[in-house]
Amino acid sequence: KQEVTQIPAALSVPEGENLVLNCSFTDSAIYNLQWFRQDPGKGLTSLLLIQSSQREQTSGRLNASLDKSSGRSTLYIAASQPGDSATYLCAVPIRTGANNLFFGTGTRLTVIP
């Protein structure tokens, strides 16, 4: 059974700092890995999708890497801003059945002005 772990559970940084969020998964037979952002009480906004054949994906100040063999992904946020404050979730679809997503419990990020 796939298990997804995110470390740290919470992170507080001053504005302008670069930061890294970590995600690990136990079953490396994945199609891809998706990073989401969730504001309090809201739905999920997709940030980046990395296919299993890719090593990294970039969008603006965000860069996500994937090391499938070691079961790890990182989300790098450059020059953090207060508007980046949210919970960040990583998710992987399993390769059987409905290909449903397994989620970590997220990292709650607070960027202090």
26 near other proteins, judged by CB under 8 A = no
Q: Which of residues 49-88 bind other proteins (CB under 8 A)?
A: 49, 51
In whole angstroms, the minimum distance from the beta carbon of 14 to other proteins comes to: 25
User: Closer CB to other proteins, residue 8 or residue 16?
Assistant: 8
User: Closer CB to other proteins, residue 14 or residue 41?
Assistant: 41
d(CA 36, CA 17) in angstroms, rounded, equals 20
93 near other proteins, judged by CB under 8 A = yes
